[in-house]
């Protein structure tokens, strides 16, 4: 895999509609995903598995939020900014000393490949620390053309 490191990088300037979830446990992820899908539907993105870009946003949301809930400290705050150029996903937790660490040389059947997957789907990604919180973020495209450029 070409992109193993999760770079230390500031959050890009996101402008657009903002959706936010405060999560305290893994059990809260299914309703948060349903809420994200509802927001997407409100913007005209159908709740259809064939809509790859929306499904990839939901997958990235789930991967980053579940990582924060498993390896970080509560509260976890997941934020999606719906901008004209794509989706900006930012997930924060209260464990700034624990930087994101993609797995290396692990059998994918053992799991732990979420950061690599999100990096592959995104056009940009990174993390930073602000006010005692670690923020892990990714920018994802809203169209198939942008998606093709992201993974090329």
What are the DSSP calls for 41-70, one per residue?
Answer: HHTT--S-TT-HHHHHHHHHHHHHHHHHHH
Round to whole Å and give the CA distance between 61 and 110: 21
Q: How many domains does the chain have?
A: 1
Round to whole Å and give the CA distance between 79 and 152: 27
Q: What is the mean pLDDT of residues 44-66?
A: 86
In a domain, 108, yes or no: yes
Per-residue pLDDT tens over the stretch 94-117: 999 988 887 777 666 666 678 888
User: What DSSP state is assigned to residue 8?
Assistant: B
Q: What global pTM score does this model have?
A: 0.82
> In the structure, what pLDDT confidence band is assigned to residue 41 with cuts at 50, 70 and 90?
confident
Q: What is the mean pLDDT of residues 11-32?
A: 87
Beta bridge partners of 78: 21, 91
Q: What is the mean pLDDT of residues 130-149?
A: 78
In a domain, 5, yes or no: no
Round to whole Å and give the CA distance between 151 and 125: 13
pLDDT value at residue 8:
79
Write the CATH number for 47: 3.30.565.10
């Amino acid at each position: 895999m070409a992109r193993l490191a999760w770079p230390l990088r500031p959050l890009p300037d996101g402008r657009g509609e903002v959706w936010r979830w405060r999560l305290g446990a893994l059990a809260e992820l299914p309703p948060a995903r349903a809420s994200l899908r509802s927001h997407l539907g409100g913007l005209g993105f159908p709740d259809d598995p064939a809509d790859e870009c929306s499904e990839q946003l939901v997958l990235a949301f789930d991967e980053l939020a579940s990582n924060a809930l498993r390896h970080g400290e509560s509260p976890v705050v997941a934020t999606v900014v719906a901008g004209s150029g794509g989706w900006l996903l930012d997930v924060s937790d209260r464990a700034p000393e624990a930087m994101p660490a993609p797995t290396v040389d692990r059998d994918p059947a053992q799991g732990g490949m979420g950061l690599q997957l999100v990096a592959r789907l995104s056009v940009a990604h990174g993390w930073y620390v602000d006010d005692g919180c670690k923020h892990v973020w990714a920018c994802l495209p809203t169209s198939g053309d942008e998606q093709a450029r992201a993974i090329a």
